[in-house]
Amino acid sequence: MADELDAAGQNPTLAAVRKATGGGSFTTISEAMSEWKARKAAKETPLREPAPQAISERLGEFGAELWTLALELANGRLAAEREALDTARVQIEAEKQEAAELADQVTGELETLQGKVSALEAAELSARNEAASLRQQLITTGERAATAEARAGEIEKRADDLNAELARVNAQNAELVKALAGAAKATEKQGRG
């Protein structure tokens, strides 16, 4: 997929590859992208070109030696720069891997919290329905008025507690969504780097 994006003139970032494939783990995509970049870098060949004809004719053997030394110097610098870039790439890949793992973890936590939110919403609805039912019984049953009112109060308190818990879980959910968005931006930014 990265080859197709690259051939189309697009930067094959983690997010672009994930979008093109329709999903997948950031960790798996990150590993595949590392291998793809390593293969692409291995295909590049060092700078090598023959001395121009005019230099060969004018300087002869001395010119050819001078040109060879210049090429060796250029290739040496190129090799040093490639080594520095490889070191930087390894560091960036490690950071991208960490960001991808964090994104996967945050996604899992977000799904867990969304499940808790649904359960709490259902429990709150059930508690409120039970409170309403008890109030109706209180109106029709005079003998149990005191007991039913106390029970309704407990259920309302429970509903309020559940509502407070729901608000807390919703706040956590919002923080996790924000963290996931930040991790995705960081991963995309590192992918462009």
Q: What is the pLDDT of residues 96-146, one digit of tens each?
A: 899 888 888 888 888 998 999 899 999 999 999 999 988 887 677 777 667
Q: What is the pTM of this model?
A: 0.32
Q: Which domain holds residue 157?
A: 2-192
Number of separate domains in the chain: 1
DSSP string, the chain: -HHHHHHTT----HHHHHHHHT---HHHHHHHHHHHHHHHHHH------PPPHHHHHHHHHHHHHHHHHHHHHHHHHHHHHHHHHHHHHHHHHHHHHHHHHHHHHHHHHHHHHHHHHHHHHHHHHHHHHHHHHHHHHHHH-STTHHHHHHHHHHHHHHHHHHHHHHHHHHHHHHHHHHHHHHHHHHHHHHHH-
Query: Looking at residue 122, what is its pLDDT?
Result: 93
Query: Looking at residue 193, what is its pLDDT?
Result: 60
Per residue in 157-178, pLDDT (tens digit) is 999 999 999 999 999 989 988 9
Per residue in 46-63, pLDDT (tens digit) is 556 776 777 667 667 776
Q: Which of 3-7, 15-19, 31-35, 70-74 ranks highest by mean pLDDT?
A: 70-74
Whether the per-residue pLDDT at 45 is higher than 60: the answer is: no
